[in-house]
Structure 1
């Protein structure tokens, strides 16, 4: 997702593999140091604790509704370029839609699939399923920063950005317990993705890879 080929070459993990929920056997098991939280989007949008359905209507974007304890800080800046700003906006919505699918415990939720296709959609489905299997969802604040967006000659876009998961955690649905874990270098994740503008004018993410502990993202 970025202009840095050396960075892209270093990113070898898929988003699903890099951000898996810890394989704990019960709700009171401790989480791994990965501080496993998938991406979400939008600046501090709050909704009821029971997310509403998000069935995309024909020709319209899906409604995104998240629990009030799932919040975001997007430091992505407007570029002044209409295409680049649209890429950032749709990437943000994809992130948010994945968190909503986790909250709804629905690995096939239509909202995140509205903003992703191919390998990216498959990776998100697998990742969401991990939360469903452990009856958990995300909670807390996630920050996004250090973004770089490039429109390529073939019409696709590349996007690289950082995620700060130091204040984001797993919350188990049965007990309501939040698994608060220590902050380490692995709390900071770099992502690289490829997006394509579809026939509906939506920039869908086709590929997404990530790496924890990247020097690019450390505070």
Structure 2
């Protein structure tokens, strides 16, 4: 599950002025550790920054129980947007959201000359869990092999200079992400 709010040492490439980016605000009990390193390449750093915002936007949509939230659709299109909508709807159906700390690490980003990029990264969900909205109760957290998820995505730079995730595949329990 994607999560988010803690200030992190993630890339923060300046956003183009033409992009009217949504304000992303998640509950304070949702925190992140983005361990993605600045690359020094403005395009690669922008890809990482916009991918981070997409993750936070999905968490905000879950917290606000809105499967068509404008924040995540700003950063997602195509199969990535459809997958996020389905993922968010599962939380809505269970009247739940995420809570806890999620760590992101092991990133590899490649930017191609055609305005597309690929991003592969790991997510550690071992300190995050579900929180039920009616009761406020949370599921117990325990680290298992499946707490670690490998993501592989394709992004495209849109006319406003935003790196939009078009495809995002995940592999739960990936050996690449195990501690």
**TM-score scaled to structure 2, two decimals?**
0.91
Mapped partners of 2:173, 2:51: distance in 1: 22
Aligned pair partner of 1:148 in 77, 100, 108: 108
How many equivalent residue pairs? 170
Gap runs ≥5 in structure 1: 1-37, 46-57
Q: CA-to-partner distance for each residue in 1:32-87, whole Å, 9 max, x for gaps?
A: xxxxxx22356438xxxxxxxxxxxx841000111010000000000000000000
Aligned pair partner of 2:155 in 195, 202, 210: 195
The 5 A counterparts of 1:1-219 are 38-41=1-4, 43-44=6-7, 59-219=19-179
Mapped partners of 2:39, 2:78: distance in 1: 28
Mapped partners of 1:175, 1:43: distance in 2: 24
Q: CA-to-partner distance for each residue in 1:158-209, whole Å, 9 max, x for gaps?
A: 0000000000000000111000132111100000000000001100000000
Gap runs ≥5 in structure 2: 9-17
Mapped partners of 1:150, 1:87: distance in 2: 9
Could you say which structure has the larger radius of gyration? 1
Q: What do you get for the CA RMSD once the two structures are aligned?
A: 1.4
Is the contact between residue 40 and residue 94 of structure 1 (CA under 8 Å) also seen in structure 2?
Answer: no
Which structure carries more strand by proportion?
2
Is the contact between residue 41 and residue 72 of structure 1 (CA under 8 Å) also seen in structure 2?
Answer: yes
Is the contact between residue 120 and residue 153 of structure 2 (CA under 8 Å) also seen in structure 1?
Answer: yes
User: 1:12 is matched with which residue?
Assistant: none
Mapped partners of 1:89, 1:39: distance in 2: 15
